[in-house]
Amino acid sequence: MSERPLARGVIARQRFTRLFALGDRKAPLSWTPALVITPHDPELPIEIAPFCVSRDNSIIPATLLMKTRANICFPFDGLETWAAEEGLILPSSLVESDSGTKSAGNQLLPVSWQSLHHDFSLLDDDVEPSVVALIDAPQLAERPGKLIQAVDSIRNRFPNSLIWTPGIAGPDNCALLSWMGVDLFDLSRSREATSRGVILSENGPREVDNSTGESAEMQTQIDAWVRALSSTRTAIRNGTLRELVECQVLSSPRSVERLRRHDSIMSERAIENPGSVGLASNVEIGRRLRCYSYSSRNDPLINEWKRKVANEHTPPEHQSKVLVLLPCSAQKPYRLSQSHRRFLRRINTRGVHQVMVTAPLGLVPRELEDIWPAAHYDIPVTGDWDLEELKSIREMIQNYASRNGFELVINHSGIDVAIDGVEVIDTRMGLSAGSEESLSRLEAVVDEATKEYNLPDPKESQHRLNKLKSLSRFKHGTDDWLDRAKVTGRPPIFRIEKEGTQIALWNPRSGRFSFSKSSLSSLDSCNALPKVHLTPETTWKGDIFSTNLSKVDTQICIGDEVLVFQNDELVGSARATAAGWEWPNGPGRLAKAQHRL
């Protein structure tokens, strides 16, 4: 009898982690991240431990049996057992060698560093396991970068599967492993902690405090696991897993190293395809990016913002000569703060390009202040800059100013700036940004530059259109769809029309263009949006799922608008709820339908 696959649905996503509901989606019996227990472990609630595994090493290669502890396989009428063979595993240092004995399994698939390099059957489309076990995870965890690479390869190859890394998880690193894409953990380290008489807590191993009556018994270890799993699940649901990870990794230098390596690898990949590392282009209203630690500045999301602004973004066409650098504010978007209202009253022209200087994003051009993450980040404000922040900001300003050909930089940021070949005027001269003297100097220098450089001062409608074009180039890579368009409406929401027909709305509260049906063909012709193709036999009535897709553009970020095609004809649009690495085979809904033509 064939093994039944696991029934699972995605409740929440963040980067490489998903909160899965297991079993009947109308009444799930368990969730991930979760534990895998053994017959020797204490009985745990199904809600946190949906699987039990046993290993028979009396034969070579060893075999694994994984049993579901609840009716979580369709049609939900009984438990299920999955069998697998581990294969012969060589040390990861012998990656060039091939033992010749591969792992085998249907719904439970063991893999190793060696099989990831030599077992070409893993590339077969028919291989769709419910659980993938990285059985040499303890060995890979000891070799810098290997665990990250292995989990990343598995996650991208099997986006539908749960990943289990036996032997390395604990309450002190389950959030980090979840961030990397791991779904299932076990009690191996907790059993070891009990044998040594220490507590494996959320903050790492520690000695028992006898003064409070503590013990290192297994129940204490399990209590720590319940707290850690609850915190991780809540963080995934709320979109705050990164913040939890940054707190958790401080318990171990190895965890700090893994986060830094993971950030570095994902930042490099994001240059070619942000969707491949799970980045979002938009988030729901209320989501915050909390940059409270040193590690926050290494987040691939922040690195991609800095790279794109410094090396790609272009200002509105009427703001090409004079750049004004302003300090940031605690309130977002900046223009709503009292300090920026004072700045705006003193800048009496639309012809200068305003850019905010901030950590950790570096630079935020005024036309981008309403989008993710510029409008959503929080950072402790002390007024002090460390050397790395100053170096990064100065490099960004140099690249941005020289690449866009600015002739004058008016510096009201408070940071000393020198740009090769460009005049820089400091309007603060050591004073606070909001002092009357510095504000008067800012106003006078802007007024003088307006005359000296003969800066244009277009009508408000053209000013708004040029800003939206610049914004579109940043978000969609082109502004061709805005040719001959007009901007009307009352701030902050603008109506974009072409030949009397509304083609989009700009709503700063959501930080996105809301496209109308009439704009879809134009967006298609200028390649402004990613494209996905439905199977020919699909009758498209609901949202986008893997079952009705034939071909996709993997350059998709969460929140992107995507154009939907069928039989090479444009049939509508949808909004991505999953990043490109999950397309086209990821679980659950990949995009929510928007328009049908």
3-state SS string for 464-521: HHHHHHHHHHHHHCCCHHHCCCEEECCCCCEEEEECCEEEEEEECCCCEEEECHHHHH
Structure tokens at 564: 């939907």
Q: What is the pLDDT of residues 136-165, one digit of tens each?
A: 999 999 988 899 999 999 999 999 999 999
Q: What is the pLDDT of residue 292?
A: 83
Q: What is the pLDDT of residue 62?
A: 83
- The residues with which 11 forms a beta bridge, in sequence order, are none
Q: What is the pLDDT of residue 119?
A: 78
Q: How many CB atoms lie within 10 A of CB 204?
A: 17
Inter-residue contact 419 to 395 (CB < 8 Å)? no
Inter-residue contact 4 to 80 (CB < 8 Å)? yes
pLDDT reading at 560 higher than 60: yes
Give the residue with greater pLDDT, 436 vs 61: 436
pLDDT reading at 271 higher than 60: yes
Structure tokens at 486: 């007009």
Instruction: Classify the C-alpha dihedral 45-48-52-53 as positive or negative.
Output: negative
Inter-residue contact 301 to 283 (CB < 8 Å)? no
- Chain Cα centroid distance, residue 433: 34
- The residues with which 358 forms a beta bridge, in sequence order, are 362
Beta strands 561-566 and 569-576, pairing class: antiparallel
Q: What is the pLDDT of residues 161-191, one digit of tens each?
A: 999 999 999 999 999 999 999 999 999 999 9
Q: What is the pLDDT of residue 124?
A: 85
Q: What is the pLDDT of residue 241?
A: 95
Q: Name the CATH superfamily housing domain 529-597.
A: PUA domain (2.30.130.10)
CATH number listed for the domain at residues 313-445: 3.40.50.10630
Nearest Cα to Cα of residue 550 among 527, 570, 530, 566: 566
Q: How far apart are CA 10 and CA 591, in angstroms?
A: 12
pLDDT reading at 447 higher than 60: yes
Q: What is the length of the chain?
A: 597
- Chain Cα centroid distance, residue 516: 27
Give the residue with greater pLDDT, 365 vs 91: 365
- Chain Cα centroid distance, residue 493: 27
3-state SS string for 17-58: EEEEEECCCCCCCEECCEEEECCCCCCCCCCCCCEEEEEECC
Q: What is the pLDDT of residue 121?
A: 82
Q: What is the pLDDT of residue 114?
A: 86
pTM of the model as a whole:
0.92
Question: For residue 251, what pLDDT band results from cuts at 50, 70 and 90?
Answer: confident
Q: What is the pLDDT of residue 69?
A: 95
CA atoms within 13 A on the CB side of 79: 12
pLDDT reading at 356 higher than 80: yes
Question: For residue 519, what pLDDT band results from cuts at 50, 70 and 90?
Answer: very high
Q: What is the pLDDT of residue 100?
A: 58
Q: How far apart are CA 35 and CA 37, in angstroms?
A: 6
Q: What is the pLDDT of residue 95?
A: 63
Class of the CATH-defined domain 458-519: alpha beta
pLDDT reading at 403 higher than 90: yes
Inter-residue contact 544 to 586 (CB < 8 Å)? no
- Chain Cα centroid distance, residue 72: 29
List all residues 6 or more positions away from 274 whose beta carbon is below 8 Å from its beta carbon. 281, 304, 555, 557, 580
Query: What is the residue type of 396?
Result: M
Average pLDDT in the 394-400 region? 95
Hunting for tokens 């290997």 — which residue is that?
146
Q: What is the pLDDT of residue 97?
A: 64
Average pLDDT across the chain, whole number: 92
Question: For residue 512, what pLDDT band results from cuts at 50, 70 and 90?
Answer: very high
pLDDT reading at 1 higher than 60: no
Average pLDDT in the 240-257 region? 92
Average pLDDT in the 365-381 region? 91
Hunting for tokens 């810098």 — which residue is that?
144
Q: What is the pLDDT of residue 126?
A: 86
Terminal CA-to-CA distance of the chain, rounded, Å?
A: 45
Q: What is the pLDDT of residues 101-113, one digit of tens each?
A: 677 779 999 998 8
Q: What is the pLDDT of residue 87?
A: 75
Q: How far apart are CA 396 and CA 400, in angstroms?
A: 6
Question: For residue 57, what pLDDT band results from cuts at 50, 70 and 90?
Answer: confident
Give percent of the chain with pLDDT exceeding 90: 77
Give the residue with greater pLDDT, 344 vs 120: 344
Nearest Cα to Cα of residue 530 among 500, 575, 487, 479: 575
Q: What is the pLDDT of residue 58?
A: 80
Q: What is the pLDDT of residue 541?
A: 86
Structure tokens at 129: 């396991």
- The residues with which 531 forms a beta bridge, in sequence order, are 563
| Domain locations in the chain as residue ranges | 8-90+98-264, 313-445, 458-519, 529-597
Q: What is the pLDDT of residues 183-232, one digit of tens each?
A: 999 999 999 999 999 999 999 899 998 888 888 999 999 999 999 999 99
Question: For residue 65, what pLDDT band results from cuts at 50, 70 and 90?
Answer: very high
Inter-residue contact 313 to 473 (CB < 8 Å)? yes
Q: What is the pLDDT of residue 117?
A: 81
